[in-house]
Amino acid sequence: MPELPEVETTRRGIAPHVEGREIREVIVRERRLRMPVPEGIEDALIGARVGTLGRRAKYLLVPVAGPLGEASTLLWHLGMSGSLRIARIGELPKKHDHVDLVLEDGAILRYHDPRRFGFIDWLRGAIETDPRLARLGPEPLSPEFDARRLYALSRKRRIAVKPFLMDSAVVVGVGNIYAAEALFLAGIDPRRAAGRISQARYELLAAAVREVLAAAITQGGTTLRDFVSGTGEPGYFAQRLNVYGRVGQPCRRCGAELQLVTLGQRASVFCGSCQT
């Protein structure tokens, strides 16, 4: 599933091609995504101009201003297999290319999703009040995310630290891949109770989260199966994974065999020697 680095990579890749452009046509080939593509969007967006793209957690925010100045936002979620890329007029759609936004200069923002678990929603009004966004914690690369927050929210919590870190009310966008990698860098056993970890160790974990996510964004995200960037490129962070997907292989740090445990119904690989 595309996580924060993949969505941020997508935003950065498509932004220069869509920001400030007028939408000339909307083509919906398949409405049956995780949520149906909103009715009437094909006509309503004609003549609208795309604003500055944003991202909140794993949601891509595409602000659009109509011909009369009315503002709205397309809330885009890539689901498990979705991707957005830039095509050109004359480039025939492939199987699973479900939605096109055709822009004034001939560029096309094209949504591809084999499993159809992603969605596009059309928000009119303040997006901050949307319940999917209102309850989210801080962005992990923002000043609002730090060890003090992790320590305060974890007190008396018996939940294992890995699912605690993946809770979007604690911090957004730290999915399974990046939680596993951050815990390895911080030397923390993913099974350890969140409430039994000191603030000093949360300092290490917060720094590791920032380091892992920043590196993943620089590498264009992680491609395991389906993800490609807005320019059609895979993400290369998979080549730098220390523990995720490497069960039974030797730890890159100490050589011990990496172990597998299930936490919060998610597989988690770790080093029993390096992570305590």
List Cβ neighbours of 208 (8 Å cut-off, separation of 6 or more).
181, 182, 183, 185, 186
Q: CA-to-CA distance for 253 and 28, rounded, in angstroms? A: 49
To the question of whether residue 12 is assigned a binding role by annotation, the answer is no
Q: Which two tokens stand for residue 11?
A: 């935003």
To the question of whether residue 157 is assigned a binding role by annotation, the answer is yes
Q: CA-to-CA distance for 43 and 87, rounded, in angstroms? A: 21
Buried residues in 5-26 as b, exposed as e (16+ CB within 10 A): bbbbbbbbbbbebbeebbbbeb
Contact between 220 and 236 (Cβ < 8 Å): yes
Contact between 24 and 102 (Cβ < 8 Å): yes
Residue type, 265: Q
The catalytic residues are: 2-3, 58, 266
To the question of whether residue 115 is assigned a binding role by annotation, the answer is yes
Going by the annotation, the residues of the binding site for DNA are 96, 115, 157
Going by the annotation, the residues of the binding site are 96, 115, 157
